[in-house]
Each structure stands twice: as C-alpha cells, then as structure tokens.
C-alpha cells in the first residue's frame, strides 16, 4: 500500500496518544514494583543465609548427639525412646502478601516439648537422650523456618522475572512501536492537511 493511500484520522491520533500514556504509566508502576520486589528479595536472602547457617549447625549438633546417645544408651534404647513419642508437631500453613506476591507463613506448635511430653518418661533414660531429643527439636524448627524462607525467595524471584519481562516488553517493544505509529500518523495528517490546502488553492485559482 502506498503512503498516500494511508489516511488516518485525528481520533486515531488521540487514541494512540492515550495508549502511549497508559503504557508509560504502566511501565513506571511495573518498574517500581520490580525494584521493590528486588529489595524484598535481598532482605529475605540475608535472612535465608543466616537461617541456612544455623540449620547446618543444628544438623551437625543433632548428628553428634545421636552418635553420643547410641554409644551411651545403645541403638535399641535410642530407637525405643524415638518410637515412644506420640505427639507430633502441629504445623499450620497460612499465607501472607509481599507486594502482591502470596508467600507461605508457616506456624509450628509443639515442636519443643517438656520431658514429660516426650513419651519415653523420665525414668529409664539418661540426660543424653534428653539432649539428643532437644537437638532434633531445634533442628526441626530450623528446617521449618528455612522451608518458609526458601519458598518465599522462589516465589519472589518468579514474580521479579515476570515483572522484568513485562517492563522490558513495554520499554523496548510496546512504547517504541506506539511512538513510531503516533509519529507516522502525525506525519500523514500533516501531509494530508498540506495536500488539502494545496487542492483548495488550486480550486480557488481556477475559479478566479
């Protein structure tokens, strides 16, 4: 199609200007959201690093206490104490919102228990069993906290990537294409006005 055959209207120019403005506003909002999510991600990352370090320490501590308990009490006594536990931790999975991203909020009750609540009784076991049990209870707490943070990080990272793609699409594709279309329509309207003005002059010259 020849350039002269394209005949846009003023209403089309107004409509595309509105689309450009909306796209620019959307770009600013999404960019702010992306930057905010990145800040939140690094906050959680810092917590996750600390939690991961604590988790490794508690895991080593629990393994050490298990080895000591097996040596002092014997494997059979340790297994008997473990099987006597009847009350399991009560874990509740809730959710919270971070800048529009739904992330898990894990609440755990009854992870740490008193000696009387552990099932194996006070008599017949040594403090080694109690220390071993305590070490594993602390390990479970660290695992729950770590799981919440790791899942939160993954969801935030997914949202950051999605928002980044939308920001890039607006910045490098949508807005430039709309701007190019606006400039083309404006140029054609100006040309059409000049052509119409020239036509009117010719008509006037003929009639005079």
Q: How many domains does the chain have?
A: 1
- In 3D space, the residue among 160, 145, 138, 155 whose CA is nearest the CA of residue 48 turns out to be 145
pTM attached to this predicted model: 0.77
- Asked if residue 183 is part of any domain, the answer here is yes
Q: What is the per-residue pLDDT for 23? A: 97
- Asked if residue 57 is part of any domain, the answer here is yes
Average pLDDT over residues 7-34: 95
- Asked if residue 164 is part of any domain, the answer here is yes
- Asked which of 12-21, 47-56, 191-200 is least confident by mean pLDDT, the reply is 191-200
- Asked if residue 127 is part of any domain, the answer here is yes
- Asked if residue 90 is part of any domain, the answer here is yes
Average pLDDT over residues 51-56: 92
- Asked if residue 11 is part of any domain, the answer here is no
- Asked if residue 8 is part of any domain, the answer here is no
Look at residue 27 and tell me whether its pLDDT is greater than 90: yes
Q: What is the per-residue pLDDT for 2? A: 52
Structural domain of residue 66, as residue ranges?
17-189
Residue found by looking up tokens 């099987």 in the block: 83
Q: What is the CATH number of the domain that holds 176?
A: 1.10.287.3240
- In 3D space, the residue among 79, 76, 84 whose CA is nearest the CA of residue 119 turns out to be 84
- Asked if residue 96 is part of any domain, the answer here is yes
Q: What is the per-residue pLDDT for 47? A: 92
- Asked which of 91-105, 139-153, 190-204 is least confident by mean pLDDT, the reply is 190-204
């Amino acid at each position: 199609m020849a350039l002269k055959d394209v005949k846009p209207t003023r209403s089309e120019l107004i409509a595309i200007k509105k689309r450009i403005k909306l796209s620019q506003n959307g770009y600013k909002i999404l960019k702010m959201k992306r930057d905010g999510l990145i800040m939140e991600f690094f906050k959680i990352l810092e917590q996750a690093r600390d939690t991961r370090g604590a988790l490794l320490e508690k895991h080593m501590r629990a393994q050490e206490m298990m080895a000591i308990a097996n040596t002092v009490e014997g494997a059979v006594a340790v297994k008997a104490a473990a099987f006597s536990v009847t009350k399991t931790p009560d874990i509740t999975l809730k959710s919270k919102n971070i800048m529009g991203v739904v992330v898990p909020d894990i609440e755990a009750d009854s992870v740490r228990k008193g000696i009387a609540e552990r099932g194996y009784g006070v008599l017949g076991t040594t403090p080694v069993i109690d220390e071993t049990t305590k070490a594993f209870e602390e390990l479970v707490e660290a695992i729950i906290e770590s799981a919440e943070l790791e899942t939160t990080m993954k969801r935030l990272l997914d949202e950051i990537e999605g928002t980044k793609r939308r920001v890039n699409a607006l910045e490098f594709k949508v807005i430039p294409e709309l701007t190019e279309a606006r400039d083309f329509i404006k140029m054609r309207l100006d040309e059409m006005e000049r052509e119409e003005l020239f036509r009117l002059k010719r008509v006037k010259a003929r009639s005079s």
